[in-house]
Structure 1
Amino acid sequence: MAAPPQKPPLQKPALQKPPGYRDPSAPLKPVAIPPPRKRVLPPSFRTKRKRRNWCRTCCCFFCVLILIIVIVFVIVGGIFYLWFSPKVPVFHLQSFRIPVFNVTVKPDGTYLDAKTIIRIEVKNPNSKLKVYYGRTDITGIVGKGTELRQSEVAGFTQGTNNVRSLKIESSVKNQLIDDGVGTKLKNDYKHKELEVRVVGGTRVGYVVKGWKIATVSVKVSCGGMTFKNLDGGDHNAMPKCTVNLLRWINIR
């Protein structure tokens, strides 16, 4: 009979490692070091990024440039004034004649026919500067505000220490006016109490070495006299014309 098979010897069960057990013979694993924590600063200590504001830079540049240009103009203007001592031209109303003055009342209204001859004296008081006058528009006014036709005087250049007389002729025909104004003008003209005035507008500048500089708009107002003064020959009693520079500087 065959021998019965032998049973293998019983093996002892392996011991289980307790939780957290580390084999001392096992190689050490590198421990991951967490990155350093960034320190959070309060808002008042945070550094702000500098950003170039090109708009502000350009604005400052142009302001400085304009300031430099203004300073240069002031310096040049001061030297010009000290050297040349510029003076404003002087205007006088020499005469205001009305050879024709008729007020006609018609069924459809009141009409004015008039012819005027005006003489204005222009004086350049500068000894070192010539004066340039642009085209001048001159309007004669009679009564309290009845304007006659506007006349034009061509531009010209006036020499130093020079006096020039301008003759301006104008006429109106069948100019429609208010009935009450027509009656007033007719009575004032008959009794030599008609008030006359001249208003002109031009551009005035100085001439230096053939160059026109400092050209500005000028408004001139002359008159405010009646025919009694004109017929009496009292031209010296006529005041100087008022010169208005840049529409806000009045010079008499």
Structure 2
Amino acid sequence: MSETPVKPVLQKPPGYKDPNVPAGPRGLRPPPRKPILPPSFHPKKRKTNYGRACCCCFCIFFLIFLLLIIISAAAFYLWFDPKLPRFHVQSFRISRFNVNRRPDGTNLDAKTTTRLEVKNPNGKMTYYYGNTEVDVTVGEGVSETDLGTTSVPEFTMRKKSTRSLRVETKVSNKLVVDEVGNKLKARYRSKSLLVNVEARTKVGVSVAGLKIGMVGVTVKCDGMSKKQLDGGDMPKCVINMLKWLNIH
């Protein structure tokens, strides 16, 4: 009989450990390493956006506050029905108007008396005024000439009341251009002279005993002819408030 060929014994690689052999104290396996992932695979931590939450709260609070202001203003308007004061030129008189041509130039002497009527049409509000500066001029454009300025002391307008302010102005030996002096003299004689009255003051409001701050006001009564005023007309004046609001 032929002999069975002997299989060659395979050499075990260095460091090979038989899994069937129980591991001793020295044969502990190291823990498996976690796979290293790229940064894009790392889970992101959620951050609480406190800034956005504060912004939303502020917007909500501002809208509520604005709504309350609108509601309060509407209730105030409906209850008090506020109306602005009214100004009229009640009368205007020129007691002296002399244009004298002299060697040193043309001089003007003039004296005027204006009655300015002020009305408070409100039944639940009181107006109070500061010192009022009143300017009187005649003519228009380049020929407009100042006839003086005077001051009216502060006063108060009660509910549904009317007040007449007497304003007197004068100029003496006022130097004017010869051409302007001749034009003013001719228009004064023909009663076509244009008169302009401007009052600058501050107005405050008192509601239920509570005073509200004063606001600068300019009242303009422009382009009134002497004939119109002598006929008894009472032209309305324009109220300029805060330099942007024009009210007739």
Q: Which category of TM-score, normalised to the shorter sequence, fits these structures?
A: 0.7 to 0.9
Q: Look up the match of 1:11.
A: none
2:199 maps to 1:205:
no
Task: Tell me how far 1:149 sits from its aligned partner.
Answer: 2.7
Partner residue of 2:122 out of 115, 119, 126: 126
> Which has the greater radius of gyration?
1
| Structure 1 residues 119 and 78: CA distance shift in structure 2, 3 A | same
Q: Tell which deviates more after alignment, 124-133 or 29-38.
A: 29-38
Task: Tell me how far 1:173 sits from its aligned partner.
Answer: 2.4
Q: Look up the match of 2:218.
A: 219
Task: Tell me how far 1:35 sits from its aligned partner.
Answer: 3.9
| Structure 1 residues 230 and 43: CA distance shift in structure 2, 3 A | farther
SS in 1 for 2:76: helix
Letter in 1 for 2:26: L
How many residue pairs end up in the alignment? 231
Q: Look up the match of 1:147.
A: 146
Q: Distance in 2 between matches of 1:90 and 1:146?
A: 26
Q: Look up the match of 1:20.
A: 14
SS in 2 for 1:150: strand
Q: Distance in 1 between matches of 2:116 and 2:14?
A: 122
Q: Look up the match of 1:163.
A: 162
Q: Look up the match of 2:8.
A: none
Match runs of 1:34-183 below 5 Å: 35-40=33-38, 42=40, 46-47=44-45, 49-50=47-48, 52-53=50-51, 57=54, 64-144=60-140, 145-183=144-182
SS in 2 for 1:240: coil
Q: Look up the match of 2:229.
A: 230
Identity among equivalent pairs (%): 43
Q: Normalising by structure 2, report the TM-score.
A: 0.76
Q: Tell which deviates more after alignment, 211-220 or 116-125.
A: 211-220
CA contact (8 A) 2:224 2:235 kept: no
Structure 2: any 5+ residue segments left out of the alignment? Answer: 1-11
CA contact (8 A) 1:223 1:238 kept: no
